[in-house]
Structure 1
Amino acid sequence: MSNIDFIFEEKAADIGNFLVGRLLPFRQKRNIGPFVFIDHMGPKQMTADENLDVAPHPHIGLSTLTFLFDGAVTHKDSLGNDIVIKPGAVNWMTAGKGVVHSERTPDYLRTVDKTMHGLQIWIALPKHLENMEPNFVHIEANDLPAWKEGAADFKLIAGEFEDKKSGVPVYSKLYMIEIKAHEDMTINLHDRLYGESGLYILEGQVLTKESAFGAKQILITKDAHLCTFDIKAGSTIYLFGGEPFPEERFIYWNFVSSSREVIEEAKLKWQAQEFPKVPGETEFVPLPVDSFKRS
């Protein structure tokens, strides 16, 4: 993987009562293919009186992907879905013209010690689908395509890779692949990836001829077609990327769009509480004054 363009470390960010490591965006790199936002949650050891409680909040113009390594989260949304996601499964929520959801520690874990660890990812929608009807899909861990290459286990979490296709219903050409190495080896993906590509090291070490890279680093390739690297035994990495969109994407808080005007409309709509409600929820996260944004 000698064609590395950028190397980034996780940067800390707060989401309510939870500290995360932000992987994307960076000032130098705002998106990787259609991926516009990636947070690494935890690992956090939580006591019996500590719980994840993210009150209802809105999204537009994107799909969210939740993937846990440890712990569990109850997802409730304005479509009426109420489901607990556990490690290895995928929650895929497409906001389109607008959806609201909450994320909380499940009832059965709220009074015991627990661990929270996972990834939360935003994938922008193609321009012609930004205003589509929202939907939600849950895919169990055993339903994701998995295979071996030498001493490595591969899993296709979302998108397409060669002749394999995840059951997650994506809306553009993309991939998110988990690789777990059981011995020191070379991973050769030469001419097997497409578009833009990033590599996140969850644990272990990735090596090139020039350098060694460790946990919590993200590497961005200059050319996904030339992606080849060495990996140490016990490492777990995530490859993600795909074809970028021709239009720029703007982000304000939880809103993603190719139009600044659409984002302004969404802000006013949330302030007026005109988004659909999450059944059984009465709280909501107010629109931040100083929100992460791109303009």
Structure 2
Amino acid sequence: MSNISLIIEERAADIGNFMVGRLLPFKQKRAVGPFVFIDHMGPAALNDHENLDVPPHPHIGLSTLTYLFEGSIMHKDSIGSEIEIKPGAVNWMTAGKGVVHSERTPEYLRNSDKNLHGLQIWVALPKELENSDPSFTHIDADKIPQWNDNGLEIKLIAGKAFGKESPVPVHSNLYFIEIKSSKAQKVNIGKDLFGESALYILEGTIKSDGNTYDPKQILVATDSKLCEFEIGENSTVYIFGGEPFPEERYINWNFVSSDKEVLRQARQDWIDQKFPKVPGENDFVPYPNFKLK
């Protein structure tokens, strides 16, 4: 019997001046553990007059995790953080009761050709932390645990697994793992995982129960403890998941909460521009024209 309960295909989504591949949420699967949203950015080749410019926009009730494969993004937020993220590093921003941030091509790259490729992820907060003060942490690439296991190159980008812990300050039991392999081989890591689990194929292939799966697919496991598959040569996959929360999480635009009334208030506060400002930024992303479901 297959351990794959759902296959999610990457879908195009427009985030303003940039197209992304949306992976979560999905109609039949709104979350995997505490992970409620995943966008695959790029790969995009930007010429000397094309730049990433996502103006200030708000979040509540979640942590954002930005992880780049190529390129660079300048992060600025209403807490006062201003830092450039490069491939292999992690930006972890916890919105709590409310934060605003912008994401742009750094100034020194704006007039040159460049590439941009990465993942942007939202992790819901435990109910007791949904109204906490916002915070921001940047973890350099060389601080992320990484090791070789029988030819597998493994990184523990966030959370706990394999008896190790990432320095990314997560707020619940979760894991976000990168596995690369230059050769085809079996992978069996179910004993190190817990809760709900899913696998995203960035490049290469995965074989499971006689089926072959290609890039731009998320495979959702029926049981994380049965996480066994064959990774193809020159493949890169990301495994993510953890313990789900007892309460449902609702998403409205950039807001996440266990309480729909909190979402409505956040929407109105952004329309009324009551959120804190990003220093030095005057423009903003307006609230889109749709109703809360």
| Shift in Å, 1:290 | 2.8
| Shift in Å, 1:2 | 3.0
Q: After superposition, where does 1:106-125 map in structure 2 within 5 Å?
A: 106-125=106-125
- Distance in 2, matches of 1:4 and 1:70, equals 30
1:52 corresponds to: 52
2:137 corresponds to: 137
| Shift in Å, 1:210 | 2.3
The letter of the residue matching 1:159 is: G
1:169 aligns with 2:176: no
| Shift in Å, 1:95 | 0.1
User: Residue 191 of structure 2 aligns to a residue in which SS?
Assistant: coil
Query: Following superposition, which runs of at least 4 residues in structure 1 exceed 4 angstroms of deviation?
Result: none
1:4 corresponds to: 4
| Shift in Å, 1:102 | 0.2
| Shift in Å, 1:225 | 0.5
2:86 corresponds to: 86
1:239 corresponds to: 239
- Distance in 1, matches of 2:208 and 2:57, equals 42
| Shift in Å, 1:186 | 0.3
Query: Deviations for 1:161-202, whole angstroms, at most 9, x for unmatched residues?
Result: 031000000000000000001211000113221000010000
* Residues 2, 210 of structure 1: 8 Å contact kept: no
| Shift in Å, 1:91 | 0.2
- Distance in 1, matches of 2:278 and 2:66, equals 18
Q: How many residues align?
A: 293
User: Residue 265 of structure 2 aligns to a residue in which SS?
Assistant: helix
2:25 corresponds to: 25
1:210 aligns with 2:210: yes
- Distance in 2, matches of 1:155 and 1:225, equals 19
- Distance in 1, matches of 2:84 and 2:32, equals 29
The letter of the residue matching 1:223 is: D
Query: Deviations for 1:60-106, whole angstroms, at most 9, x for unmatched residues?
Result: 00000000000000000001111000000000000000000000000
2:40 corresponds to: 40
TM-score (norm 2): 0.98
- Distance in 1, matches of 2:2 and 2:118, equals 29
- Distance in 1, matches of 2:60 and 2:6, equals 29
The letter of the residue matching 1:207 is: K
1:260 corresponds to: 260
The letter of the residue matching 1:283 is: D
- Distance in 1, matches of 2:15 and 2:211, equals 33
- Distance in 1, matches of 2:72 and 2:121, equals 16
The letter of the residue matching 1:265 is: Q
Unmatched runs of 5 consecutive residues or more in structure 1: none
- Distance in 2, matches of 1:79 and 1:173, equals 26
2:102 corresponds to: 102
